[in-house]
Amino acid sequence: MSKIKKENISQFQSNELYIYHLSRDVLNSLELLYFDSLTTEAISPNSIVSLTSKSLEQHNEQLMDNEQSQAISNVCQTCGSKLDGLDVKKSHYKSDFHRFNLKRKLQKVPPVSEAEFDKIIQDLDESISGSDSSSQEDDNDSYDDDKEKRNLETIFEKTDRSLNNLSIQDNEQSVHYLNTKSPFVLFKSSLLSPERCFGIYKSSFDVTELHSNPLEALKNWNSVDQSKKYSALFMIGGGHFAGAIISHNPKPVKGNINGSSGESLLEQSVNIIEHKTFHRYTTRRKQGGSQGTNDNSNGKANSAGSSLRRYNEAALEKEVRELLNSWKNYLINCESIFIRANGALNRNILVGY
pLDDT 10s digits, 260-317: 566 777 788 889 999 999 999 887 665 556 656 666 655 566 666 678 888 888 999 9
Task: Name the packing angle between helices 96-106 and 140-164 (round to 10°).
Answer: 10
- Among candidate residues 84, 151, 149, the one with its CA nearest the CA of residue 119: 151
Spans of the chain below 70 pLDDT: 1-15, 43, 45-73, 107-109, 124-173, 255, 258-262, 284-305, 353
Query: Model pTM?
Result: 0.58
Q: 157 with 70, same domain? A: yes
Q: How far is CA 24 from the centre of its chain?
A: 18
Q: 58 with 151, same domain? A: yes
Q: 241 with 203, same domain? A: no
In a domain, 311, yes or no: yes
pLDDT of residue 55: 56
Give 150's Cβ-side CA count (13 Å radius): 13
238/335 Cα distance (integer angstroms): 28
pLDDT of residue 95: 84
How many Cβ atoms sit within 10 Å of the Cβ of residue 85? Answer: 9
CA distances from 137 to 15, 42, 146, 323, 324 (A): 75, 50, 11, 89, 85
Q: 131 with 183, same domain? A: no
Q: 66 with 160, same domain? A: yes
Show which of 174, 195, 212 is a domain's final residue: 174
In a domain, 33, yes or no: yes
In a domain, 293, yes or no: yes
Q: 26 with 68, same domain? A: no
- List the domain range (segments joined by +) for residue 146: 47-174
In a domain, 1, yes or no: no
Q: 247 with 158, same domain? A: no
pLDDT of residue 169: 47
Q: 53 with 164, same domain? A: yes
In a domain, 59, yes or no: yes
In a domain, 213, yes or no: yes
Q: List, by residue number, the catalytic residues.
A: 291
- Among candidate residues 42, 162, 57, 61, the one with its CA nearest the CA of residue 109: 162
Specify the number of domains making up the chain: 3
Note the helical H segments in the chain: 24-29, 53-69, 86-93, 96-106, 114-128, 140-164, 170-174, 207-212, 214-221, 265-268, 291-298, 304-326, 328-332, 344-350
346/291 Cα distance (integer angstroms): 12
